[in-house]
Amino acid sequence: MTAEKEISVLLSEARNLINIPPAPVATMLVYHRIEDGGAPSLPDSVALTEFQEQMRHITEEGYSPMTVRELAALVEAGEEPPEKSIVVTFDDGYLDTYTHAFPELDFFRMPATVFLAAGHIGASTPFPWLGGNGGKPMDWQQVSKLHRAGIEIASHTYSHPFTPNLTKNELCLELERSKGKIEDKLGAQVHSLALPYSFPLRHPRWPSFRARLREALNSNGYVCCCTMQRGHISPKDDVFALRRIPVGRDDDLRLFRAKLEGCFAWTAPLQAFYQRFLKSYPAP
Ligand SMILES: [Zn+2]
């Protein structure tokens, strides 16, 4: 990770040194936990002070923030997104999305999309997939407040399974139950999905999974789907397999800036290689 960080920052500094303007890319950022007090406990957690700096940077550097649904509509129409388009997303539905991130989003008037593992929202125990190290989820009252403030509330499945292992019917049920529950609680439509866990778009199992996924998304009225595959967004992208850029505890402002300038996307092939050849996925 350190090498990835140093190279990305070097690329960013070289880009600015010779006055090349930042690439006109649209970027979706993915956050998980926002922690306060001390160093974040997990690699994909961000310290509150860093998060505040990042939201300030987006605001002061003239980015065009929007929700996933808004950016996906442009991609679907094949339209070029506005220059420096950016989407702030949060996965899972942690309590700290409400207690720590929301006040900053509100302060900076920052649009955002929150993906909920809907079956866990309102539980009194931490999300189970981080082995007891996970944060607690929000309750539905807190989700409602985010929704009323204009934040897009979207689906991250119902139980947070490794979706490529699900049958067509199981996958359909995960998408249907999650969307139904959120819509029932908020009285508003859900349009976007984010898949739990990362799964490579070039894996041999991707084409068959993609076919099941498309069918489940279409039959449940979803209009777009985000992945954990690293990369930026272009008008030619598949709206059912949108790439995102992760933000984690290593993101000081230099690395964050590099990520927004497109100087981190070079790591996407490394991620794909690791996932394709070195990582083992649970058998279906
Ligand atoms: Zn997740």
| In contact, 51 and 256? CB cutoff 8 Å | no
Return mean pLDDT, the chain: 91
Please check whether residue 150 lies inside any domain of the structure.
Answer: yes
78 in a domain, yes or no?
yes
User: 283 lies in a domain?
Assistant: no
d(CA 35, CA 103): 13
At residue 205, the pLDDT reads 81
In a domain, 212, yes or no: yes
Predicted confidence (pLDDT) per residue in 40-91, tens digit: 888 889 999 999 999 999 999 999 999 999 999 999 998 989 989 999 999 9
Q: How far apart are CA 261 and CA 25, in angstroms?
A: 8
* CATH for 270: 3.20.20.370
* SS3 of 131-185: CCCCCCECCHHHHHHHHHCCCEEEECCCCCCCHHHCCHHHHHHHHHHHHHHHHHH
Is residue 284, in this structure, part of any structural domain at all? no
Q: Is residue 152 part of a domain?
A: yes
Q: What is the pLDDT of residues 122-153, one digit of tens each?
A: 999 888 887 766 789 999 999 999 999 999 99
Ligand 1: distance of its center to the CA of 198 in Å? 9
Ligand 1 centroid vs 248 CA: distance in angstroms?
Answer: 14
Q: What is the whole-number distance in angstroms between the Cα of residue 160 and the centre of ligand 1?
A: 6
Q: How far is the CA of 261 from the centre of ligand 1 (A)?
A: 25
Question: Separation of 264 CA from ligand 1 center, angstroms?
Answer: 22
Q: Is the pLDDT of residue 35 over 90?
A: yes
Q: What is the pLDDT of residues 226-277, one digit of tens each?
A: 999 999 998 889 999 999 999 999 999 999 999 999 888 888 888 877 777 7
Counting the structural domains of the chain, the total is 1
Instruction: Find the 184 Cα to ligand 1 centroid distance in Å.
Output: 21
Distance 138 CA to ligand 1 centre (A): 14
Q: How far is the CA of 21 from the centre of ligand 1 (A)?
A: 34
Backbone φ/ψ region at 177: left (φ over 0), alpha (ψ -120 to 50), beta: alpha
Residue 270: give the domain boundaries. Answer: 2-18+25-277
* Residue 271 forms part of a structural domain: yes
Residue 202: predicted pLDDT: 72
Quote the pLDDT of residue 109: 97
Distance CA 58, CA 110 (A): 9
Question: What's the 228 CA to ligand 1 centre distance in angstroms?
Answer: 9
Those residues with Cβ within 8 angstroms of residue 104's Cβ, 6 or more apart along the chain or in another chain: 48, 51, 52, 55, 110
Tens digit of each residue's pLDDT (9 = 90 or more) over 97-112: 999 999 999 999 999 9
Q: Is the pTM of this model over 0.85?
A: yes
**Above 60 in pLDDT, residue 24?**
no
Q: Could you tell me the distance, in angstroms and rounded to a whole number, from the CA of residue 164 to the centre of ligand 1? A: 14
- Residue 210 CB-density burial (10 A; 0-12 exposed, 13-18 middle, 19+ buried): middle
Question: Which contiguous run of DSSP H or E holds residue 35?
Answer: strand 34-35
Burial of 131 (0-12, 13-18, 19+ CB in 10 A): exposed
